Chain A
Amino acid sequence: MSTQPSRRSFLHGSAALLAASSLADVAAARTRAGREDVLRIALVGCGGRGTGAAIQALSTAGPVHLVAMADAFRDRIDSSLAEIVAAHPERVDVPESRRFVGFDAYRSAIDLDVDVVVLTTPPGFRPLHFEYAVQKRRHVFMEKPVAVDAPGVRQVLEAARAARELRLKIGVGLQRHHDPAYQETIAHLHDGAIGRVLLYRCYWNSSGVWTRAREAGWNEMTYQMRNWYYFNWLCGDHIVEQHIHNLDVCNWIQGATPVRAQGQGGRAVRTGPDSGEIYDHHAVEYTYADGTRMLSQCRHIPGCWESVSEHAHGTLGTCEVSAARIESEGGWSWRHRGDPVDPYQIEHDRLFAAIRADQPHDEAEVGAQATMTAILGRMATYSGRVVTWDEALASNLRLAPTRYAFDADPPTRPDEHGRYPVAVPGVSVAL
């Protein structure tokens, strides 16, 4: 039932990771290559997003079959399977023997004769699952973020290097990269439409997300797994889990990651025992190497100004990136026009096309950098300090429990009033 995700036993270097993939895997890969062009998928993480991702994978061109499903909870597999079958009855072949439940379920699913693994569990598990999938030489679609702490980001970067050497195709769920409106807008910015960018602003200010009430019979580990959004070892806080999209867009335009950050945040409204340990607001000022700043806000408070957007201010004009609108000095303006498309589908279409054509498709590093940018912001708001990229990435603060099991100790526990310890700026160790 339990896995020991020991950092000590982790093989350092992509060569070691390559060596870890066994001869049997190589043989399996050959068999797969020799088979007709059916791509076989394992879904690891069967929540709403995983179900959506699986349906999108099954909607790509050419034969694709879902053959295995894994989740910590049996009921998630059942509800997910019902939805996927309803969407693609002829492309699902997941008998009881290929439905795997528990913390180790990912191994059983990935070990099967599958070509592509869809990793859509809460992000805390992503480094472990991604590393294992690469070791088994599987192509991967994984949701963002790809980690919740710096050791996890390093683990993903290491596995990404191995994946590149193995010519594996890796898609990451930063779907804005596949949205024509974003692509065209950012191409204009790279062509100098607003001159040199001096300042970015980006926001994910919304009213928050779901909670699940504690049920009788749940132990603390079950409660945290069911309410994963509110626990950092699973979610990374909403600056990591959601705001990553907007931070990633600014990095994309800048063509770089920030060198340092400072910020502030806290729990102003969402303070109840049902809200775990994450903040309800963060505001971060990032600095890139050339001095360009990025001001970022994310908030989970209902009834306030809401915005999910990115903006760039340059020497020659401004751009509402998320609205695909550019206004430059001298009266030149531009606006993207086009029918709405589904970038979530396009990201799968491109990944699967690359797999079939054996063309490069490698989004893991960009995903890891975007993830680290968001983690850097959390380190800044939790600590209240200026945090540099280098010290953040080198951090050895691991958020995961020592053991993954329902009878294991979760990394945090509520006090007698049901409240969890929360980071205190100026006091807490955040990296």
Chain B
Amino acid sequence: MRAHLLRSVPLLSLLLQQATARYPEAPPGLAPAVPVEGADAAGAAEMQRYTEVIPGTSARFEMVPIPGGSFLMGSPDDEPGRNTDEGPRHRVELAPLWMGACEVGWNEYQPFQLQLDRQLRAAGKAEAVEQDRWADAVSRPTPPYVPMDFEMGVDGFPAISMTQFAARQYTKWLSMKTGRFYRLPSEAEWEYACRAGTTTAYSFGDDPKALERYAWYFDDSEDAYHPVGKKAPNPWGLFDMHGNVAEWVLDAHAKDFYGTLPADAPAVSPVNWPTEAYPHVVRGGSWDDDPERLRSAARRGSNKGWKIQDPQVPKSIWYLTDARFVGFRVVRPLVPPPPEQWARFWEADVASIREVYERQRHGER
């Protein structure tokens, strides 16, 4: 059978070369930054909260400064509800960044997902901006067969049901649109920001009875997500870190990853870069989870079951048919990495995703 497979490959690649490119190539250089009040900072001391604007749309969202520093990642052995993948606890050092005050909402995600920005331009309701020449070269999700909000609501609600790859492509598109480098947080950055200096099970203490003030979870969500930013924030002003929707981070989920980090020195900006499609980490728990999954240290890995009802093969690289509890938030490092490293944060990183992505990029299905 392998022989059949191999024989078919040269033909397929030939077809790919002949196919018409569906997406334009991005212009050389970088998309220039769209000026936004408060978004620039010469150093960590100058970082302030700012409102990001997605040009050509009515979407806006708040970015909150997160100071650089170090913290103890993971949970103590005696934390109730703890899983073994949360240890050993280890010290991590992180650089300053801004983080979305809220989970990314459909209002921000849909212009990317449904190409609404292009439609607005085509209908004469918005002008093309300089940055659109870069943004239009970013691959967009295929049209979803069914409403991916699963009818829980759109306006003001968190975007869900996207794959980790789709979330990363969104951060690429957002970076092109704004001219500022956005990406998913690493798992360490996420936990650091969630804890906001605390060492308890939750950023408000250890008692799950207090969750209702801070989080949408199984007991108070009435079986659905809720508009972002309605509960109390954590000490650093971040909303819904516990609950509402679980949030993608950059890392692959490895139960023993913490044990592979050096014990005698802090890990500096660690990322467990994925090499397989599963499992990736989501953090924070969701509207559908019990309290222990909402803990600051709790980790959860994605699995194939999250696409079980996708009837097409290959299954979508953009959508999860069975994970209406997964969303994400974005970060922007104060000092972005050099542009040649950006692809690592944004692009298809697994062969099976890359293959489908390339086909679609060239106008095939």
Which residue numbers of A lie inside 8 Å of B, CB to CB?
Answer: 47-49, 51-53, 55, 74-75, 78-87, 89-90, 92-96, 175, 205-210, 212-216, 242, 302-303, 306-309, 340-344
CB pair B116 A303 closer than 8 Å: yes
CB pair A306 B5 closer than 8 Å: no
CA distance A52 to B115 in the complex (A): 28
CB pair B4 A307 closer than 8 Å: no
Known interface pairs A51-B313, A93-B1; 20 further A-B residue pairs with C-beta atoms within 8 A, sorted by A's residue number: A47-B365, A48-B312, A48-B314, A49-B312, A52-B310, A52-B312, A75-B12, A79-B12, A84-B313, A85-B5, A90-B1, A92-B4, A96-B4, A207-B114, A213-B22, A214-B20, A302-B116, A302-B143, A303-B110, A303-B119
CA distance A74 to B9 in the complex (A): 12
CB pair A206 B12 closer than 8 Å: no
Inside 8 A of B119's CB, which chain A residues have their CB? 302-303
Question: Would A207 and B144 be within 8 Å (CB), given that A51-B313, A52-B311, A52-B313 are in contact?
Answer: yes
Is B341 part of the contact surface with A, judged by Cβ < 8 Å? no
Contact with A along B148-160 (1 / 0, CB 8 A): 0101001000000
CB pair A51 B145 closer than 8 Å: no
Inside 8 A of B308's CB, which chain A residues have their CB? 340-342
CA distance A96 to B144 in the complex (A): 35
Judged by DSSP, the binding face of B is: loop
CB pair A210 B311 closer than 8 Å: no
Contact with A along B306-322 (1 / 0, CB 8 A): 00111111100000001
CA distance A86 to B8 in the complex (A): 13
Question: Would A74 and B313 be within 8 Å (CB), given that A210-B365, A308-B146 are in contact?
Answer: no
Is B350 part of the contact surface with A, judged by Cβ < 8 Å? no
CB pair B12 A78 closer than 8 Å: yes
CB pair A302 B115 closer than 8 Å: yes
Chain B residue at minimal CB-CB distance from A345 = B308
Inside 8 A of A96's CB, which chain B residues have their CB? 4, 7
CA distance A214 to B151 in the complex (A): 35
Chain A residue at minimal CB-CB distance from B19 = A215
Inside 8 A of B22's CB, which chain A residues have their CB? 213
Is B363 part of the contact surface with A, judged by Cβ < 8 Å? yes
CB pair B309 A307 closer than 8 Å: no
Question: Would A92 and B142 be within 8 Å (CB), given that A48-B312, A303-B114 are in contact?
Answer: no
Chain A residue at minimal CB-CB distance from B8 = A78
CA distance A52 to B314 in the complex (A): 8
10 A-B pairs within 8 Å (CB atoms) are namely A48-B312, A48-B314, A78-B12, A85-B4, A96-B4, A175-B311, A206-B146, A207-B114, A212-B363, A306-B146
Inside 8 A of B146's CB, which chain A residues have their CB? 206, 306, 308
How near does chain A come to B183, taking the closest CB pair, in angstroms? 26
Which residue numbers of B lie inside 8 Å of A, CB to CB?
Answer: 1-2, 4-5, 7-9, 11-12, 15, 18-20, 22, 110, 114-116, 119, 142-147, 149, 151, 154, 305, 308-314, 322, 363-365
CB pair A302 B20 closer than 8 Å: no
Inside 8 A of B18's CB, which chain A residues have their CB? 215
Inside 8 A of A306's CB, which chain B residues have their CB? 146-147, 149, 151, 154
Inside 8 A of A208's CB, which chain B residues have their CB? 143
CB pair A340 B1 closer than 8 Å: no
Inside 8 A of A87's CB, which chain B residues have their CB? 313
CB pair B8 A82 closer than 8 Å: yes
Chain B residue at minimal CB-CB distance from A74 = B11
Chain B residue at minimal CB-CB distance from A83 = B313
Chain B residue at minimal CB-CB distance from A89 = B1
CB pair B8 A307 closer than 8 Å: no
Question: Would A212 and B364 be within 8 Å (CB), given that A307-B147, A309-B151 are in contact?
Answer: yes
How near does chain B come to A113, taking the closest CB pair, in angstroms? 20
CB pair B145 A206 closer than 8 Å: yes
How near does chain A come to B352, taking the closest CB pair, in angstroms? 9
Query: Counting chain B CB atoms within 10 Å of each CB, which of A74, A79, A175, A209 scores highest?
Result: A79
CB pair A94 B151 closer than 8 Å: no
CB pair B143 A207 closer than 8 Å: yes
How near does chain B come to A223, taking the closest CB pair, in angstroms? 12
Inside 8 A of B364's CB, which chain A residues have their CB? 212
How near does chain A come to B57, taking the closest CB pair, in angstroms? 11
Inside 8 A of B314's CB, which chain A residues have their CB? 48, 51, 83
Query: Counting chain B CB atoms within 10 Å of each CB, which of A51, A83, A302 scores highest?
Result: A302
Partner of B5, one of A74, A81, A342: A81
CB pair A344 B116 closer than 8 Å: no
Inside 8 A of A75's CB, which chain B residues have their CB? 11-12, 15
Chain B residue at minimal CB-CB distance from A92 = B1
CB pair B309 A340 closer than 8 Å: yes
Chain A residue at minimal CB-CB distance from B146 = A308
Please give me the 4 A-B residue pairs with the lowest Cβ-Cβ distance, nearest first: A306-B147, A48-B312, A78-B8, A302-B114
CA distance A90 to B143 in the complex (A): 34
How near does chain B come to A32, taking the closest CB pair, in angstroms? 23
Chain B residue at minimal CB-CB distance from A302 = B114
How near does chain B come to A303, taking the closest CB pair, in angstroms? 5
CB pair B309 A342 closer than 8 Å: yes
Chain B residue at minimal CB-CB distance from A209 = B143
How near does chain A come to B177, taking the closest CB pair, in angstroms? 17
Chain A residue at minimal CB-CB distance from B115 = A302
CB pair B4 A81 closer than 8 Å: yes
Inside 8 A of A48's CB, which chain B residues have their CB? 312-314, 365
How near does chain B come to A406, taking the closest CB pair, in angstroms? 17
Chain B residue at minimal CB-CB distance from A79 = B12
CB pair A340 B322 closer than 8 Å: yes
CA distance A337 to B362 in the complex (A): 43
How near does chain B come to A39, taking the closest CB pair, in angstroms? 18
How near does chain B come to A403, taking the closest CB pair, in angstroms? 26
CB pair B147 A308 closer than 8 Å: yes
CA distance A89 to B2 in the complex (A): 8
Inside 8 A of A52's CB, which chain B residues have their CB? 310-313
Inside 8 A of A82's CB, which chain B residues have their CB? 5, 8-9
Question: Would A212 and B312 be within 8 Å (CB), given that A303-B110, A303-B119 are in contact?
Answer: no
CA distance A175 to B5 in the complex (A): 31
CA distance A136 to B305 in the complex (A): 38
